[in-house]
Amino acid sequence: MSADGLTAEKEEFWLFGYGSLIWKPPPHFDQRVPGYVTGYVRRFWQVGRYQDHRGTPEAPGRVVTLIERSFWETLDDHHPSGSDRVWGTAYRIQPDKVAEVRDYLDIREINGYTVHYTDFHPADGSPVIKTLVYIGTPDNEQFMGPQDPQKLAEHIYTSVGPSGPNKDYLLCLEAALDGLSPESGDGHITDLASRLRGIEKRLEPVPSPDQEAIERELEKRESIDGLEETEKRGL
Ligand code: BEZ
């Protein structure tokens, strides 16, 4: 295996997805394997690219990156990190499509993210796979560092761009992680998602009892009018 995740004889190329790649796979994969990497912490600390990540150029949304655990331990984070595992999905790309997929990924993922390589542990205990992974390291301009979780959830709630609401990215990630394994939850993600649901509950309009009574009365009138009309026509 060479350093870039390609096995010389077999031309194997494996990619690790820990964000949107979990539920939006790359093209031309022929194997999809749930599992985890170690030595990192996943955080919603990267400013999103507005075309893909549900914000606008003036108010970009937030997306996830990986932070080396040894560096993360020096930071003042609001969320503890219980597990040393970051769950996600590894994809094997068809050998004849590797160059095409790498071009596609370079276009799709560029946004302060750079290419790294890491050992991936399949959930079923099969041998470790060397994977390529895109990481927004702390020296990139879009890296934000520790965020107040409530403010971060509010920011995600309010960011909307051409590809949809930023909150969908968070909620899809939470659901996709739940689907990988009984152990694949991530406390940072579930806390942000439950804060987001709390914000939605507080801010989304609930019809007042008066409004509901008016609507019921209008429905009643409509059905009485309908009956009278039918009787008039002698039907
Ligand atoms: C991911 O899903 O792993 C990912 C997506 C975009 C940039 C970096 C990582």
Q: pTM of whole model > 0.95? A: no
Helix (H) or strand (E) holding 88: strand 85-93
Selecting from 3.30.1330.200, 3.40.50.2300, 3.10.490.10, 3.40.50.1950, what CATH number does the domain 13-203 have? 3.10.490.10
% of the chain with per-residue pLDDT over 90:
61
234 confidence band (pLDDT: 50, 70, 90): low
How far apart, in whole angstroms, are the C-alpha atoms of residue 77 and residue 148? 8
User: Looking at 109, 200, 217, 231, which residue is catalytic?
Assistant: 109
Q: Is the CB of 131 under 6 A from ligand 1?
A: no
Centre of ligand 1 from the C-alpha of residue 91, in Å: 12
- The verdict on whether 222 is a catalytic residue reads no
Whether residue 3 is predicted with pLDDT greater than 90 in this model: the reply is no
pLDDT at residue 35, rounded to an integer = 98
pLDDT class of 162 with cuts at 50, 70, 90: confident
Please state, in angstroms and rounded to a whole number, the distance separating the CA atoms of residues 128 and 134. Answer: 19
Say what the pLDDT of residue 104 is. 83
Q: What is the pLDDT of residues 139-158, one digit of tens each?
A: 998 999 999 999 999 999 99
What pLDDT is attached to residue 8? 45
Residue pLDDT, tens place only, 17-66: 999 999 999 999 999 999 999 999 999 999 986 555 555 666 688 999 99
In a 3-state reduction of DSSP, which class is residue 44?
strand
pLDDT value of position 233:
55
Residue 233 CB coordination number (10 Å): 7
Q: Which two tokens stand for residue 216?
A: 């019921």
205 pLDDT more than 80? no
DSSP-derived letter for residue 231 is H
Domain extents in the chain: 13-203, 211-235
Q: Would you say residue 7 has pLDDT above 70? A: no
**pLDDT value at position 103?**
85
pLDDT at residue 235 is higher than 90? no
Q: Can you give the pLDDT at residue 9?
A: 47
Q: Which residue has the higher pLDDT, 47 or 82?
A: 47
60 or 179: whose pLDDT is higher?
Answer: 179
169 lines ligand 1 (CB under 6 A): no
Mean pLDDT of 1-16: 64
- Separation of alpha carbons 23 and 16, rounded Å: 12
Distance CA 177, CA 181 (A): 8
- Indicate if the pLDDT at residue 219 is higher than 70: yes
Q: What is the pLDDT of residue 55?
A: 57
Report the nearest-CA residue for atom 4 of ligand 1.
19
Query: Could you tell me the CA-to-CA distances from 159 to 18, 114, 136, 147, 176 in Å, in that order?
Result: 21, 25, 20, 16, 21
Residue nearest to atom 7 of ligand 1 (CA): 109
